[in-house]
Amino acid sequence: MWTRRAIAAEARGFPVTGGAAEEIVALGPDLVLTSRYAFVVTRHTLARLGVRAEAFGTPATLAESLGEVARVGVLVGRPERGRALVTAIREAVARAAPPPGAPRLSALVFQGGGFASAPGTLMDEMLRRTGFDNAAARYGLERTGPVPLERLLADPPDVLLAGQRRPGAPTWADRVLEHPALRGLEGRVHRAVFPQRLLNCGGPVLIEAAAALARAREDALARRT
């Protein structure tokens, strides 16, 4: 599900399932790429029916994400395309790195429901690689979860990387992003749009994520001068 959201435009023309084995088998796949956290009964059923399935976890580091990209390339019989994508991601992250001696900024990836990416996550590494210090650490976040709005207001980061409300009627989780109290940070905090789909699963979206983080850092520094 999360991968589908991350590459929604590319996935729009493909069939969608709810993860049930019956739906998957009906499509007649040669290979199923699934999550280690997918329904256990689905994985067991696929194995019993002889459907080849390869499970993937949630990468916590850039190296793990690149390893998964290369693995997918091998599994689908296109190892050279996997290697090319790994190279493209590495180059994008390298381009997004700050120049030597550039000041570091604190940043918080703040999404619907007030959730933030904790230290030790893939997004935490992406922040560090693009010149930021993850403010979630000073809020005591040990795993990805909500940051109380009061903590954010009392000790704001230099940059707030916030998602956008979804079209249509917003959910209660979406409304946190537009809370009136956040307007009080204007002038003190640089707010940059960081779509939530860039947080999901790593892989190809890291190219866009790296560019977005570098752009946010440059814009924040430009406002200081």
- pLDDT value for 5: 52
Identify whether 156 is part of a domain.
yes
Together in a domain, 125 and 220: yes
124 and 185 both lie in a single domain? yes
Asked if residue 129 and residue 44 are part of one domain, the reply reads no
Q: What is the pLDDT of residue 8?
A: 65
Query: What burial letters (b/e) apply to 137-153, b meaning 16+ CB within 10 Å?
Result: eebebeebebbeeebbe
Instruction: Tell me the C-alpha distance between 217 and 197, whole Å.
Output: 19
53 and 107, same structural domain? no
48 and 126 share one domain: no
Residue 74 lies in a domain: no
**Dist. CA 29–CA 70, nearest whole Å:** 21
Q: Is residue 136 part of a domain?
A: yes
Q: 54: exposed, middle or buried (C-beta count within 10 Å: 0-12, 13-18, 19+)?
A: exposed
pLDDT of residue 195: 87
Structure token digits, residue 158: 């230099």
State pLDDT tens for residues 212-221: 999 999 999 9
pLDDT at residue 120, rounded to an integer: 92
- Predicted local confidence at residue 1, as pLDDT: 39
Q: How many domains does the chain have?
A: 2
What single DSSP character describes residue 104?
Answer: P
**Residues in CB range of 215: below 8 A, 6 or more apart:** 192
Q: Tell me the per-residue pLDDT of 33-87, one tens digit each, with 9 for 90 and over.
A: 988 887 888 988 999 999 999 999 889 999 999 999 999 999 999 999 999 999 9
Residue 63 maps to a domain: no
Tell me: do 215 and 161 sit in the same domain.
yes
The verdict on 41 and 123 lying in the same domain is no
Statement to judge: residues 119 and 16 lie in one domain: no
Residues 6, 102 within the same domain: no
- Listed residues 57, 73, 103: the one ending a domain: 57
What pLDDT is recorded for position 2? 42
Q: Are residues 142 and 32 in the same domain?
A: no
Residue 157 located in a structural domain: yes
pLDDT, residue 38, reads: 79
Parts of the chain with a pLDDT under 50: 1-4
Q: Which residues of 174-191 are buried (b: 16+ CB within 10 A; e: fewer)?
A: bebbeeeebeeeeeebbb
pLDDT for 167: 64
The count of other CB atoms within 10 Å of the CB of residue 168 is: 7
Helices (H), 97-202: 122-129, 149-154, 172-175
Q: Looking at the structure, do residues 38 and 144 belong to the same domain, yes or no?
A: no
Domain with residue 199: its CATH number is 3.40.50.1980
Whether 110 maps to a domain, the answer reads yes
Q: Please report, for residues 80, 117, 136, 211, the alpha-carbon distance to residue 141 in angstroms, rounded to integers and kept in the order given.
A: 39, 8, 6, 25
For 70, the 3-state DSSP assignment is: helix
Number of neighbouring beta carbons within 10 Å of residue 75 = 14
Is residue 137 a part of any domain in this protein? Answer: yes
DSSP 35-52: ETTS-HHHHHHHHHTT--
Residue 82 lies in a domain: no
What is the model's pLDDT at position 220?
95
Q: At which of 10, 31, 57 does a domain end?
A: 57
Residue 37's pLDDT is 81
Residue type present at position 112? G
Greatest pairwise CA separation for the chain in angstroms = 64
**Alpha-carbon separation of residue 135 from 50, 57, 212 (angstroms):** 47, 26, 18
Domain that holds residue 14: 1-57
19 shares its domain with 128: no
